[in-house]
Amino acid sequence: MSKPCNAEELQNYTTESHIPKEKQSGATNNIYNENTNQNSSQISVESSPKIENHPHDQSSASNVDSVPDGGFLAWLQVVGAFFLFFNTWGIINSYGAYQTYYEEDLLMSSDSSAISWIGSIQSFLIMFIGAGTGPLYDAGYFRALIITGTALVVFGHMMLSLCTVYWQVLLAQGFCIAIGSGALFLPGVAILSTYFTTKISFAVGIAASGSSIGGVVYPVIFRELQPKIGFAWTVRVTGFILLATLLVSNAVMKVRVLPAGRRKIVDWSAFKELPYTLFNLGSFLSFMGLYTPFYYIQLFAIDQHITSSGSGLAFYLLAIINAASTFGRIIPNFLADKTGPFNMMVPCALISSILILCLLSITKLGPLLAFCVLYGFFSGSFVSLMPSILVLLSPNPSLVGTRMGMSFSMVAIGLLIGTPIAGAILNDHGFGAVWIYGGIFTAAGSGVVFLARNFRVRWRIISKT
């Protein structure tokens, strides 16, 4: 039971509670009038002042004032997200090395199109499942997602080391590793928006560069170790590296705030907005062709006798593309905060399409190396700018995750069918037709993205968007 208070204490209480001075005496008299039948030395206060929390007192991802926008803990999240990208998209960007090995050795009885389905399913599932994990992240299951993803990615590699036939590789690499990667991908993107505001594009660019660096490291590891210790132990070593680096993410990443409410899985009203719809269509078309060099550049160099399979240089072409992509993910993202992400993405996509078509006339090693450097830079820019544009196209901050998930799902379909189509074209018509296919689809996508940009700014030529 609370201790009774006397009149003098009551006066002090009302003053400390910030009751206006002119109302304090009236408030005191009212209480005395209500308690005239009780002992005058004791006053029972039946209700206390209610203090309402101001909305800005609560941390929120959408409350800009509460977001640290830097600091040691915030940059630790960038480190953790970097390793999530390193071990998800980095593995997928390395698939070209596996594609070449499978066609020349392990799965030589399967054609290019069938083998490319393994990598396509990986790319599809990381985006599609990544979009579906959004509600789980919003519900507070961040820790469960990255632990589950880590376990599946590592387990998938250990199983891949035991595979000898196509269906086993498809299950281990195409599904198990991809499902684990999907569980890791979206948390790596979503958590950064709760730690950064004005520096968000730069932070995402640094984290996304992990996919490019992973695409450099893992093909080199595969190339160097596979002839010495065999396919099985090479994949196991990769699995151990994955485990060690993903443990860093598990150790340092921490949810700062959760959304105020669970987000929608689909926001159908978004498709009534022409810029958003056109941007998704453009991204879908671009991703149909964008990854053809990643999958087939090594085979192209060997088939056209630009390099020999024994020289080893062909296996490093993919690593060169991914190394250049590291700079393509950081520098344009830094500039996008000043020029606008649309204004950076459109020219990068168009240049990427032109570069793919340039492969039609490349017959020497020097031009091929120049292509790898330039294509890595500009294609990396296209991929890394997508999240910034989706934030720009979401007027309601609470729907950013929803719209990003919807967009990822549509892009995932382009990734799923794009390279197998290229593989089928390769089997029937050769590499020239593959580059025409990839270049035209990427160019068409860049044109549609340009339309999305213009509809958003109402066809103003000079506009930061």
pLDDT, tens digit, 9 for 90 and up, residues 374-417: 999 999 888 788 877 887 887 776 677 678 778 888 888 988 89
Contact 455, 278 (CB under 8 A): yes
Q: Is 408 exposed, middle or buried (0-12, 13-18, 19+ CB in 10 A)?
A: buried
Q: CA 433 from chain center: how many Å?
A: 31
Contact 29, 43 (CB under 8 A): no
Q: CA 275 from chain center: how many Å?
A: 21
Digit-coded pLDDT (tens) for 206-262: 888 888 899 889 988 998 899 899 999 999 999 999 999 999 999 999 887 766 666
Name residue, tokens 């700014």.
Answer: 457
Residue 231 is encoded by which pair of tokens?
A: 């396919």
**For the whole model, what pTM was predicted?**
0.73
Percent of the chain with pLDDT over 90: 34
pLDDT of 149 > 90? The answer is yes
Q: CA 25 from chain center: how many Å?
A: 61
Return the half-sphere exposure (C-beta side, CA atoms, 13 A cut-off) of residue 297. 37
For residues 322 and 327, give the distance between their C-alpha atoms in angstroms, rounded to a whole number.
Answer: 9
How sure is the predictor about 445, in pLDDT bands with cuts at 50, 70 and 90?
very high
- In this structure, the dihedral spanned by the alpha carbons of residues 152, 223, 214 and 251, taken in order and rounded to 10 degrees, is 50
Contact 122, 92 (CB under 8 A): yes
CB atoms within 10 A of CB 401: 26
Residue 102 is encoded by which pair of tokens?
A: 């499978």
